[in-house]
Amino acid sequence: MDVEGETRPLNPQTWTHLKKMLDRSGPFGPACEEALELLQDAEMFKILVVGAGGLGCELLKDLALCGFRNIHVIDMDTIDVSNLNRQFLFRPPDVGKAKAQVAAAFINKRVKTANVVPHFCRIEEVESLRDPEGNPLHENFYRQFSIVVCGLDSVVARRWINSKLHSLLEYDDDGELLPESVIPLIDGGTEGFKGNARLISPGTTSCIECTLSLFPPQRAYPMCTIATRPRQPEHCIEYAKLVLWPAPEEEGGMGEKPLDGDDPEHIKWLQEKAEKRGQEYGISGITYRLTQGVVKNIIPAVASTNAVIAAACAHEAFKLATGCSSSLDNYMMFTDTDGVYNYVYPAEKLDSCLICSNKPVPLSCSPSWTLTQVIDFLKENRKFQMRQPGLVTMKENGSPRTLYLHNPPAIEKMTRPNLDKTIAELELKNNQIISVTDPTTARPVDLKLVFTESTEMQ
């Protein structure tokens, strides 16, 4: 669901401070006398904010006050009471409402020059939304923006947006990148008292996938501890999530029903089951907030860190829009655990990047590997970190051959026997190209099988 707005009137006094900054030359750049007019043109700069949580609220406020007039925000979450201590655009009566819609309404009310348009949906689904007559509501949604700014708490969502913007790149007949097809991505992230901001120019700089190893690994608990020797509230929650939830319905579980970390009923169910298990082992402290934090791998947020990182991201967007100073090159780290520390360095672009290298990525494997082993490797290896990879290759006659897909169920059932077959039994050749689809990417990525004598996964 989304709501379109109208261009709002200008008040000259609103732009006084921006005019002073842009009309004067300084140590970081010359005067940009035309920049203010460009910024005031609502159709010149459309900016998309992805996420309306702790970082997203700060971003919307900063971007609106920086003079951006045409802002879109997309978020699939609703407001929980636990959000109110740091997500300052929300109030107690807003609990249960869509974050994007409430945040947009708040900014539109307070910053008269800004028009914020909310989209209450998943980032992957916005282009597939239809009106009652079946017509697309947002065809080529992402192409309309000049800049995309992310304030996400999900690595998967970051990877998808990164992949999507790279898929929009266009090249001329000589293979040269067309500058007008580049949509800069400004990404901010926080983790307690630590944070980072980075500027990604698709096709030129390193991307999210290039630095995937920098993200903290997902916390995992040994199954033996969860099942037999729980000692912490988190162990009880993981037991409810991994053992009790997927149990058959006749045994009190949810069977094939997918677990949604944003569904209050699902979290309450897990909390109740975890509390019962905690009582058996004398473990207390299992709350709704902790349960959701374990299920969604939520890291406690600090409002001051969100403010610093959002300001850095908004500053980069302002510099891109006005040219008032040189842009970040290209990764900024921030921490204030022991004093305040800040460091900027150019993250390197990987020649073997899944997304921005524009060439098949080698996958070293043994012909004796089963297809299940290949899929597990793509999930567990830090270079790939996929969720549900589906594999397709091409026959010699050029027609596609599906090796395995998770969805739709009919295709999954048809290709399931391939999981136990080896690469040799599937008649896959050395240097053969495998196209892989996954929820972490907006487009398929190509892998090239490189056979090795070793049977170990590395």
- Tell me the catalytic residues: 224
Map tokens 């019962």 to a residue. 276
Q: What is the DSSP string of 85-115?
A: GT-TT--GGGTTSBHHHHHHHHHHHH-TT-E
Cα–Cα distance between 186 and 165 in angstroms, integer? 12
Cα–Cα distance between 181 and 168 in angstroms, integer? 7
Evaluate whether 118 touches 60 at the Cβ level (below 8 Å): no
Cα–Cα distance between 409 and 34 in angstroms, integer? 56
H-state helical runs in 30-137: 35-40, 54-65, 99-110
Nearest residue to 157 via CA among 366, 433, 391, 439: 439
Q: Which residues of 376-414 are buried (b: 16+ CB within 10 A; e: fewer)?
A: ebbeeeeebbbeebbbbbeeeeeeeeebbbbeeeeeeee
Name the phi and psi angles at 118, rounded to 5: -90, 150
Name, in order, each residue with C-beta under 8 angstroms of 263's C-beta and a sequence gap of 6 or more. Answer: none
Sign (positive or negative) of CA dihedral 157, 158, 159, 163:
positive
* Order of all β-strands in the sheet with 433-437: 361-365, 445-451, 433-437, 390-394, 400-404
If residue 317 lies in a helix (H) or strand (E), which one and from where to where?
helix 303-322
Q: What is the CA radius of gyration of the chain?
A: 24
Task: Give burial (CB, 10 Å; 0-12/13-18/19+) of 134.
Answer: exposed
Cα–Cα distance between 69 and 349 in angstroms, integer? 33
- Our CA angle for 160, 264, 235, nearest 5°, is 80
Beta bridge partners of 447: 361, 434
Strands 433-437 vs 445-451: parallel, antiparallel or unpaired: antiparallel
